[in-house]
């Protein structure tokens, strides 16, 4: 089974460190999504919910769109919501592209 994995990190000046790792299988289904760092989020479980929501789902444009709603439920500190959203979206887009490339081979 082919796997793709990507990891994206940001650290804004004066802000906190955020790392987003996404791992999918050959069917482009998320095996693991991990959001880590020293940022603050309220409620913290809202970030856990993003990871749980992604697990087991195929990465599609519609799934990426769903992230907007989930991220809007989180109050973040140490990273702006836009930067957090962009990081998450770019990680998912990267694995989606890798999946498409592999499918056309």
Binding site for another protein (CB under 8 A): 9, 11, 13-17, 19, 34-44, 47, 77-78
Nearest to 76 by CA among 26, 37, 39, 29: 39
Say if CB 9 and CB 19 are below 8 A apart. yes
Report the nearest approach of another protein to the CB of residue 60 (Å).
26
Nearer to another protein, 11 or 31 (CB): 11
Select 33 or 99, whichever has its Cβ closest to another protein: 33
Comparing CB distances to another protein, the nearer of 78 and 89 is 78
Q: Are 18 and 74 in contact (CB under 8 A)?
A: no
φ and ψ of 19, to 5 deg:
-125, 135
CB of 36 to another protein, least distance (A): 4
Least CB distance to another protein at residue 15 (A): 7
CB of 104 to another protein, least distance (A): 34
For another protein, the closer CB: 28 or 76: 76
Q: Over the range 48-63, which residues count as b (16 or more CB within 10 Å of their CB) and which as e?
A: eebbebbeeeebeeeb
């Amino acid at each position: 089974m082919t796997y793709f994995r990507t990891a994206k990190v940001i650290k804004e000046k004066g802000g906190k460190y955020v790392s987003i790792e996404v791992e999918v299988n050959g069917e482009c289904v998320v095996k693991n999504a991990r959001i880590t760092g020293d940022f603050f989020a309220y409620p913290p479980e809202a970030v856990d919910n993003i990871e749980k929501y992604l697990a087991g789902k195929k990465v599609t444009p519609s799934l990426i769109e769903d992230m907007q709603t989930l991220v809007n439920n989180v109050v973040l500190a140490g990273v702006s919501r836009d930067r957090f959203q962009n990081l998450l979206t770019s990680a998912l887009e990267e694995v989606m592209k890798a999946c498409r490339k592999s499918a056309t081979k």
